[in-house]
Structure formats: C-alpha cells, structure tokens
Amino acid sequence: MSPEVLEPLRLRPEVERLLLDIGMPPDDSPVYDGKRRAADKPEEAARKFVIWARAIGAVGSYPAGIICALYGECAAADHRVPVSDNRFLFALKHTSGIRRDLADADRRRRLWTIEPAAVVAPEPAPTPPKAIAKPLLNKPRLFHRYVPEQQENLSHAMIQAKAREARRLGRARKQRGSRSHKAA
C-alpha cells in the first residue's frame, strides 16, 4: 500500500510505546513471520484489550459481539491465539476500565462500555504501619521453643527432669481418653 493510505492508520509514538510496554510486538517484528503465539490468560488478555482499545480510540459502548470481534483484532495485532469468547468476556467483566449496562432498546441485552483512560494523579506514599510489640506467649507454639526469661540459666539435669515430667504428663493425658466414651 502507498504511504498516503497508511499514514492515517499509523499510531502516535507515545501510543505505540504504550503498546510495546504491555508486550505487543512492533509492526516490523519478525514475530509475525512465525506461528501465532500462545493465548494469554483471560485476565491478561482482558487487561491488554482495554489498553489496546483505548490506544486505537475504540472507547464507547458496544454489544458483546462487537467486543469479541474487537478482541479478535487485538489478538491478531498481538499475534496470539485468542482466548475463547466466554472466558474473555468473564475476565473482561472484572477488568477496570470496562462497564456493563443494560441496552435501552432491549433490556435483556448488555452493552459493554470501554471507558476512556482517566488522568491519574499520583497517590501520596502510604504511611508505614506502627510497630506493635507482641505480648509474651504463655504457651509454646508448634515448632517454637519457649523458655521463660527467669529460667534461662537452668542446669542440664534440671532441663532433662522437666522434659521427662512433660513427657510423662503427655502420656498420662493420652491414656485417659475422653469422658464421653466412659459414660457409655
């Protein structure tokens, strides 16, 4: 085709940069010479679709069939196998920048609205959370050795005696069983 015909179809450099940043290949990429790339996950495909639709100026309200056709064009531009329509529409429903409304003519149909990109003001940095001191644990947790502060300097013999006592109490507790079985 002649340059006069292609010039109105060419994207602005900042828009083209945005599409390159999300992973779409440039027009002259050797990727287009090979097989189509594998399909994106539906959530990723929906996110890319919203960015692509905004980049080419396809914001507005469309029925589901037109949205799926636009997604087919987006997948072709990305040189990927498209995700199935049902999975894509389900993921698109949960994507920011998309709104679903009831059609005025037929209340059973839904119109999908691709919202224009909003100018986002930079958010202030979040304040770091305050450090909260945890109270001392009275009971040891699983895989956590609890040594009370006042007993840190116990002799080896005393530690072994306490361990034997703990094992003995543990065995005794296991042998007792539950009281509900004894009542029967």
Residue 167: domain span = 150-176
Same domain, yes or no, for 12 and 94? yes
Q: Is residue 165 part of a domain?
A: yes
Q: What is the mean pLDDT of the chain?
A: 78
Q: Residue type at 112?
A: W
Rounded Cα distance between 52 and 49, Å, is: 5
Segment 111-140, tens digit of pLDDT: 999 998 775 455 666 676 666 666 555 555
Same domain, yes or no, for 110 and 159? no
pLDDT at residue 105 greater than cutoff 80: no
Domain count, the chain: 2
Rounded Cα distance between 102 and 88, Å, is: 19
Rounded Cα distance between 48 and 24, Å, is: 9
Asked whether 41 and 87 are in contact (CB, 8 A), the reply is: no
Question: In terms of residues, how long is the chain?
Answer: 184
Query: Above pLDDT 70, what percent of the chain?
Result: 68
State the Cα angle at 104 between 71 and 50, rounded to 5°: 20
Q: Is residue 135 part of a domain?
A: no
Same domain, yes or no, for 71 and 12? yes
Same domain, yes or no, for 84 and 161? no
Same domain, yes or no, for 24 and 96? yes
**Long-range contacts for 160-166 (Cβ within 8 Å, ≥24 apart)?**
none
Segment 22-73, tens digit of pLDDT: 888 887 788 888 899 999 999 999 999 999 999 888 899 999 999 999 999 9
